[in-house]
Amino acid sequence: MKRGFLVLDIETVPDRTLYTPEVKAGEERAFPPLWAHRPIVLGVLWLDETYRFKRLGVIGEGKEEPDMLSDFSAFVERERPHLVTYNGRGFDLPVIALRCLRHGVPLAFYYQDRDYRYRYSDEGHFDLCDALTDHGAARAMGLDAIARLIGLPGKVGVDGSQVEGLFNAGQLEVIKDYCLSDVAQTALLLFRFRLLQGHLTGHAYRTIVTDLLTAFAAEPRLAQFCRHIDHERLLHTAIP
């Protein structure tokens, strides 16, 4: 079976039925524990086995959380793509698993296919944050900084600390655009890392990235992201 790639990023808000943070004067609100996060957007980019663009969007868009989680689980169960994330082992997948636990949604692929949970392999789930820190040996780095390192804009206009406020203000479409921007940057970082690994030549890297940028340019939700890309830096390589 040929396996494509599903680049994944989620946005969450605290589940106020489970968690009320203690806020002390003069202190920032603490980041909620994993079990207290409620996913509101599951942004994905689907690529085929040769990295060609298939689809960008939001899984379970317009549905309630249990149905959104069911759609995600069913898609991965059926297609068995390699998941690609940035800190997905530390956040995205544990949050999804905990919310499936809460709602009684099966997540069979995650627990029955060893590749999705085995940390020291690119197969099944490739967490770029984990790879870039040598599986925790180096200090973790945010996607914003790593994206800017290679010519991507990082956080443009919105960052994770604003998601709850935007959600409460009914600005879900803004959150979706923000999430898909992170998905796009994670995908482009994947190819830069494949170049670093020696799995792509400079020519192959530039071809893949150029094709993907063309696809992104046709996506209205990525318009702001696309305007801030440093194409010269992103496409530059020291090898042919």
Q: Domain with 87 in it: what CATH number?
A: 3.30.420
- The answer to the question of residue 225 being in a domain is yes
Whole-number pLDDT of residue 22 = 77
Q: Which of 197, 215, 240, 183 is nearest to 5 (CA)?
A: 183
> Which domain range does residue 218 map to?
5-143+154-235
What local confidence, expressed as pLDDT, does residue 26 receive? 65
Long-range Cβ contact pairs of 227-234 (< 8 A, separation 24 or more): 228/153, 228/156, 229/151, 229/152, 229/153, 230/151, 230/152, 231/151, 232/151, 233/150, 233/151, 234/150, 234/151, 234/152, 234/188, 234/192, 234/209
Q: How far apart are CA 178 and CA 159, in angstroms?
A: 8
Q: Which of 8, 124, 113 is nearest to 55 (CA)?
A: 8
Question: Is 91 within the bounds of a domain?
Answer: yes
Q: Domain for residue 30, yes or no? A: yes
Contact 174, 223 (CB under 8 A): no
- In DSSP notation, 107-139 reads -HHHHH-GGGT-TT-SSSEEEHHHHHTTTTTSP
pLDDT of residue 31: 85
Instruction: Tell whether 212 is covered by a domain.
Output: yes
For residues 186 and 85, the answer to whether their CB atoms sit within 8 Å is: yes
Type and span of the H or E element at 240: none
What is the pLDDT at residue 154? 95
* Residue 84 forms part of a structural domain: yes
pLDDT in tens, the chain (240 residues): 789 999 999 999 999 999 987 777 666 777 899 999 999 999 999 999 999 999 999 999 999 999 999 999 999 999 999 999 999 999 999 999 999 999 999 999 999 999 999 999 999 999 999 999 999 999 989 999 999 999 999 988 788 889 999 999 999 999 999 999 999 999 999 999 999 999 999 999 999 999 999 999 999 999 999 999 999 999 999 999
Residue 42 and residue 56 in contact, taking contact as beta carbons nearer than 8 Å: no
In a domain, residue 149? The reply is: no
Question: Does residue 138 belong to any structural domain of this protein?
Answer: yes
Query: Collapsing DSSP states into helix, strand and coil, what is residue 223?
Result: helix
The tally of domains found in the chain comes to 1
What are residue 12's DSSP bridge partners? Answer: 39
Length of the chain: 240
Q: By the 8 A CB rule, do 172 and 40 touch?
A: yes
Q: Is residue 29 part of a domain?
A: yes
Measured distance CA(209)–CA(189) in Å, rounded: 10
- Residue 53: beta bridge partners? 47
* pTM of the predicted protein model: 0.95
